[in-house]
Chain A
């Protein structure tokens, strides 16, 4: 799969920390917006968290949703403007903790939107608190002795929940580690775009992502940690492939 040589015009070098996975995902989304020619007919609902950086990071019409409610805001956009390309961009805390009702219900209704969630196993923006995706034993500022899943519950797998409980068009989990994973992720994002553009319905792509700042690691160390310790639990691949595709 060839990657475009020029930087996509739809996105700007954003303000994420060095080695943050958000920037990679944003770049891939920018490439797809251009490749599918929808950069001037796109509406974005962002979550609250490091996704707030999309306010300056993406040159598209965008609404800052209340924390967790992006899928509901996107539902409104979708119903108001049936011809636009509509997606949400949210963190794991936003989409799966506070916003789990809105996230699941948009999937349940099979809204024809794309939902991109950045799973960095913590609340990055607010300084690294525990999220529902925090790994067992992972130290965060609110699980200082390591996450004890006997009292907090175990890391949540929302894509699997949606793929098995509802009838979405497409669900996948990718990862922003090396070129191989990034190319694979780009394929997942393209499928999500196509699912919406072909009116197949709801799609979610969860993206395992690094948060070197709050993990207390150097960028490369964070990548290694993600591949070795996070990816085995959060299996990468298509969880619900598109009908008739592949």
Chain B
């Protein structure tokens, strides 16, 4: 077993091993350990660390590095991620890859420092202006965070898209044993700008927007087909399927075993990638067990956000009439008792479905 490492730092080191040549960012709790760590680690390896004047500048520095075909990371939280949306939208338009770490903190505006999933819909729907989606990875342990961010750069470059690694204050601050992957050799992507002006540009007038949109959507569909990922347990005989990601997903992995031992026929889908959403998990469930009577999300936000995806993919896969419930708390890590009590209410018919 590896050393005990704090989530934010373990993820930063994994990005270093994946070959980032530049980090640019602006401090904000609860993501700051990532940049503090890299402020020493990057120069130690002869790489570049930039404390930028704002998150806006950081994402634009990221754009400049990415345009050169080099690996680059920025990390932030809450309002800092909001400021990055302009640059993310531009990078999507230019098909420039990058990995962004969002250590989600609760709330609107300044919010609070608490762990939360309040950014779920923003992250999975794009976030800036336009018609794009970022790939969103949602680790539930420090090790999974390490493994996912290491892979995130390959995924980003494969599709030339933005990959968001979405953790929260809980995972970012928690210490767990973790093993690091090997150092990847640093290379420049073949399409990176090198001054040769080998990729000609069109004018910004007289574009074929339909063709541009079609090309982007072809890529989106390819990502949807290839990049669904989830963990499943207890689905064969489940009457009730919990769906939870990130920290709530981790809680539910333990809790459904306990609940099954107590005689409840419950199962779990834990999306590891939340965009594209694991459509196929619902298709497989339908094929294996058409008798599901309810879906229940466990989320840390106001009234459930992922519940919207659950309802959509349930419907798409033949569970159209099956009720979908949300067990939520605004922030923190859901406690077993809270989930069990809410579940009991659902069983007794005292808690209404959302969809």
Contacts and interface: CB of A to CB of B under 8 A. Distances in A.
A72 B52 contact: yes
Contact of A101 (B56, B72, B204): B56
B56 A69 contact: yes
B72 A59 contact: no
A15 B204 CA distance: 12
A199 interface: no
B64 A63 contact: yes
Contacts of A65: 60, 63, 90
B255 interface: no
Contact of B72 (A42, A55, A76): A76
B195 A64 contact: no
A80 B195 contact: no
| Chain A interface SS verdict (over half) | mixed
B60 A72 contact: yes
Interface in A158-188: none
Contact of B203 (A56, A76, A77, A105): A56
B124 interface: no
A79 B197 contact: no
Nearest to B203: A56
A80 B203 contact: no
Contacts of B57: 69, 72, 75, 101-102, 105
A159 B201 CA distance: 31
B68 A43 contact: yes
Interface residues of A, number: 35
Nearest to B71: A80
A38 B195 CA distance: 9
A24 interface: no
B60 A69 contact: yes
A40 interface: yes
Contacts of B86: 66, 69
B64 A77 contact: yes
A78 B193 CA distance: 12
B15 to A, nearest CB: 16
B48 A79 contact: yes
Contact of A79 (B50, B199, B202): B50
Contacts of A64: 90, 94, 204
Best-surrounded residue of B52, B54, B87 (most CB of chain A within 10 A): B52
A43 B21 CA distance: 18
B201 A73 contact: no
A88 to B, nearest CB: 10
Contact of B201 (A55, A75, A81): A55
Nearest to B22: A79
Contact of B87 (A40, A69, A81): A69
A60 B50 CA distance: 26
A43 B70 CA distance: 14
Interface string A29-66: 00000000010111101000000100110011111111
Nearest to B60: A72
Contacts of B194: 41, 61, 81, 84
B77 interface: no
A59 to B, nearest CB: 5
A115 interface: no
A101 B64 contact: no
A225 to B, nearest CB: 29
B65 interface: yes
A183 B87 CA distance: 38
A236 to B, nearest CB: 30
A72 B270 CA distance: 38
A62 to B, nearest CB: 7
B226 interface: no
Nearest to B67: A63
A160 B117 CA distance: 47
Interface string B174-204: 0000000000000000000111110101111
B204 A55 contact: yes
B53 A76 contact: no
B66 to A, nearest CB: 7
A73 B197 contact: no
Interface of A: 15, 38, 40-43, 45, 52, 55-56, 59-66, 69, 72-81, 84-85, 101-102, 105, 108
Given A65-B63, A75-B57, A75-B64, 16 more contacts: A40-B197, A41-B195, A52-B204, A55-B203, A60-B197, A61-B197, A66-B60, A66-B86, A69-B57, A76-B62, A76-B64, A76-B67, A76-B68, A76-B72, A80-B65, A84-B195
Shortest beta-carbon contacts, A-B, top 10: A76-B64, A72-B60, A80-B68, A41-B195, A76-B61, A61-B193, A105-B53, A69-B60, A76-B65, A77-B64
20 contacts: A40-B197, A41-B194, A42-B195, A43-B68, A55-B201, A55-B204, A61-B193, A61-B196, A61-B197, A63-B94, A64-B94, A64-B204, A65-B63, A72-B63, A75-B57, A77-B67, A79-B65, A80-B21, A85-B195, A101-B56
